[in-house]
Structure 1
Amino acid sequence: MEESNFDLGEALLRHREHREKGGIPPKDDPVIEGPAKMKDPIDDGNGKQSTANVTGFELTPEETLEYFMKSRSKDITSDILNLCILSLKEFLKLEIPERFRLLPYLPEGGLMMVYGPRGLGKTYMAIGLTVSLICNSPFLKWQVSGPAGVLYIDGEMSLHDLRERFLSLLREKPQAPVYFLSHEYFYQKIERDLNLANSNIQETVKDYVETHPEIKVIVFDNLSCLLPGVREDKRDDWTLQVLPFLLWLRRRGIAVVLVHHSGKSGEQRGTSSREDTLDTVIRLDRIPNAKNAGAQFIIRFVKSRGAYGDDVNDIECHLNTIDGVPTWSWKPLEESTEDRLMKLVAEGVDSVSDMADELAVSKGLVSRIKKKLQEESRLAPGKDLKIAEAHREKQ
């Protein structure tokens, strides 16, 4: 056999397969015949350092790893583990590509959850985010870093409502594609439920995104509908049936947005272990004393790995219809709280404690806002909350 045709990994794999079956490798196998019949493929005079010995050959670290990957062995030996551990010097010299951020709080391959009560506007937020990503346009206060293709997987809405909501928020021609996997259309075509805990469906989704590299984000709306067989309060169900699928997407640079419901406590419903591997967790809260008039909520960042400062400050959002067109508006939460506080003071709420109850915020926050408004001469000095005369005259 000529040296140019020798594939060490393939030869070692054949030998391992014969050995595991209890057979004897063929005599013409170059691994068995070894250096006596051919030039040693390992000792090429370059002084390569070996870390393992397989069937008589000493392997370099790279060849050891190649053999492990080709053999698909489930056993991790000390040699393989050694290849996965970095010294400080190696760690500092390691070339690590910069993690591109689609949004300040959504990195490439990032896992994000958005949760909140029913009917608050979670789907509108998810669709609004999708539209911004494919159109390369701002989403609320945040600018996206470039157009990104999206796969929107819906497990709850009718096709009609999904299309109506999407078109109502689409203002310009998309710069990246968007694809829809609807539970309703899925059933219409093949008469099966769209269950993303099913390993077969997970594999087909993997195949689809691998053949569509333009997809950079997948939206799952929502977990309860798309994972009907997964018990929400059982950590093992999530860890064994769902998490491996999400980590597969992460390792291929595909960001995931999980839409979920909150429970009676106000936290995300079910096991809190879901949040362990997430980069970002956003909670949508009701705006105190707000009328039920469509999508309006407070965005609070419960977890934001790698995003800081103003990028993750709480904001109040409204989706209002202006001249028949749904339009997003937002303002910093403290600013909106100031406005509501001034309105309540005018209605007669004059104590910090009562104001905190009305606004559903802490007394400390009310005290800070009170001090700020007194410095701006909008509130009168003193213990009670009273509108300053100078401000009253301006009104």
Structure 2
Amino acid sequence: MTINAMATVEASPEAKSAFAALTKVMRPPLDKPLKVVGIHDFIGMDLPPRDTMLSPWLMTQSLSMIYGWRGTGKTHVSLGVSYAVAGGGEFLNWKADKPRRVLLVDGEMPGPALQERLTTIITSGGAEPERGYLSIITPDLQDGAMPDLATHAGQEAISEVAERVKAELIVIDNLSCLVRGGGRENDAESWVSVSEWALLQRRAGRSVLFIHHSGKSGQQRGTSKREDLLDVVISLQRPPDYDPADGACFEVHYEKARHLAGPDVDPIEAKLTVDEDGKSTWVWRTVTESTYDRVISLANEGLSQADIAAELGIHKSNVSRAYRKASEAGLIQNNAADKSSNQYRTRRGS
């Protein structure tokens, strides 16, 4: 016997009607029940294996994020990754196994500036994508506003294009300008609808790479809940002695990498160089190598190990190891071990 709880409560007909309507809304839909499978059946399923799109970190059907402070080089990286994947080429120490179709959604760069960046990449050599392998959505070409990925309409708009161009990778550059609604950036709820959309893309066989800003703390801006869903999180950081005159120069740090370990996640320092003919080339070295070179240079300028550690913002033990190795190799000409920190402060103020 089923008892209607509302029948036993004294309430007006209007109140009972409103409560009945509310319970109907609160009931979960039954037209799409969850699929469940036993372990033996699941293990026996013929699921497509994940491949490497850009070795070692970018996989098929993966969700990733690259973030950094404004002006660090995020757009350089998003364009470099997009071009390398679409052309089956290389960017930094990352290599694509074959060309794959890419949809680049740029949310803020002026059209001419984006055109100039891409032209520089093309003229600098490397594997050029075939026609149709790198598709671009950019604000200057639209009749209205760019899609808002916080809304269902915005998500549908991007999904429709991704389906149309047969994209295997969607690059969202960047979250701040392409996810405008859905609440405050620091609220975890603001990421819910975007994460659900990203999972749908993964189920459709696509990868999504989000480009994002870092906050004043140096961490990715907004809720950290974003990282829970992601396979890879990469941080772009300024080198300790960065000078704006150096141009595009940054360190690449892996903060999360579910399938990587060992040398694959060693941080690197990358720098954009331009030769006499105007050809741009990216050069890179490990952060360990760059730290070693900096320790040698600063030691030969007369700084003590403590001052070098302060100058580079690293632990004294790292300086000590590099200093000892350089000394044994005869690369330190100035014995700075007894120099005082006063000389370091004078140097910084000079």
Task: Calculate the TM-score normalised by the size of structure 1.
Answer: 0.72
Aligned to 2:319: 366
Q: 2:295 aligns with which of 341, 344, 347?
A: 341
Q: Structure 1 residue 372: deviation in Å?
A: 2.7
Q: C-alpha separation between the residues in 2 aligned to 1:385 and 1:285?
A: 32
RMSD after superposition? 2.4
Q: How far did 1:177 drift?
A: 1.3
For 1:179 and 1:132, locate their aligned partners in 2 and report how far apart those are by CA, in whole Å.
13
Q: What residue number does 1:29 align with?
A: none
Q: What CA distance in whole angstroms lies between the structure 2 residues aligned with 1:243 and 1:268?
A: 16
Query: Which segment drifts farther, 191-200 or 255-264?
Result: 191-200
2 CA distance for matches of 1:164 and 1:380? 45
SS in 2 for 1:354: helix
Question: Alpha-carbon deviations, 1:358-394, whole Å to 9, x = none?
Answer: 11222222222223324434348999389xxxxxxxx
2:191 aligned with 1:238: yes
Query: Following the alignment from structure 2 to structure 1, what is the Cα–Cα distance between the partners of residues 171 and 43?
Result: 35
Number of aligned residue pairs: give it: 304
**CA deviation digits over 1:342-373, x for unaligned, max 9?**
1101111122x221111122222222222332
Q: Which 5+ residue runs of structure 1 have no aligned equivalent?
A: 1-72, 387-395
* Counterparts of 1:294 and 1:254, CA distance in 2: 34
> CA offset at residue 93 of structure 1?
3.8
Cα distance in 1 for residues equivalent to 2:151 and 2:46:
37
Are the structure 2 counterparts of residues 107 and 375 from structure 1 closer, same or farther at C-alpha, using a change threshold of 3 Å?
same
Aligned counterparts of 1:218 and 1:307: Cα–Cα separation in 2: 22
Where does residue 137 of structure 2 map in the other structure? 181
Unpaired runs of at least 5, structure 2? 1-27, 340-350
Residue 299 of structure 1: aligned partner: 252
* Percentage of matched positions with identical amino acids: 37
Preserved contact between residue 151 and residue 218 of structure 1 (Cα < 8 Å): yes
Report SS of the residue matched to 2:91: coil
Letter in 1 for 2:60: E
> 2 CA distance for matches of 1:118 and 1:304?
23
Q: State the alpha-carbon separation in 2 of the partners of residues 94 and 248 from structure 1.
A: 20
Q: Counterpart of 1:271?
A: 223
> Is 1:260–1:268's contact at 8 Å kept on the other side of the alignment?
yes
Amino acid in structure 2 at the alignment position of 1:350: S
Aligned residue number for residue 200 of structure 2: 248
2:303–2:336 contact (8 Å) kept in structure 1? no
| Contact in 1 for aligned 2:66/2:209 (Cα 8 Å) | yes
Q: Max radius of gyration: which structure?
A: 1
Question: Does the 8 Å CA contact 2:271/2:284 hold for their aligned counterparts?
Answer: yes
**Structure-2 residue corresponding to 1:141:** 93
The answer on whether the counterparts of 2:67 and 2:74 sit within 8 Å (CA) in structure 1 is yes
Equivalent residue number for residue 98 of structure 1:
49
| Matched-pair contact (CA < 8 Å) for 2:251–2:268 | yes
Aligned partners of 1:129, 1:135: CA distance in 2, in Å? 10
Structure scoring higher RCO (CA < 8 A, sep ≥ 6) equals 2
Q: Assess, with a 3 A threshold, how the Cα gap between structure 1 residues 385 and 373 changes in structure 2: closer, same or farther.
A: farther
Give the ranges of 4+ consecutive aligned residues of structure 1 lying more than 6 Å apart after TM superposition: 380-383
SS of the aligned residue for 1:232 comes to coil
Give SS of 1:258's match: strand
AA at the equivalent of 2:229: T
Task: Give the drift of 1:96.
Answer: 3.8
SS in 1 for 2:95: coil
SS of the residue 1:84 aligns to: coil
How far residue 90 of structure 1 moved from its aligned partner, in angstroms, is 4.1
Letter in 2 for 1:328: W
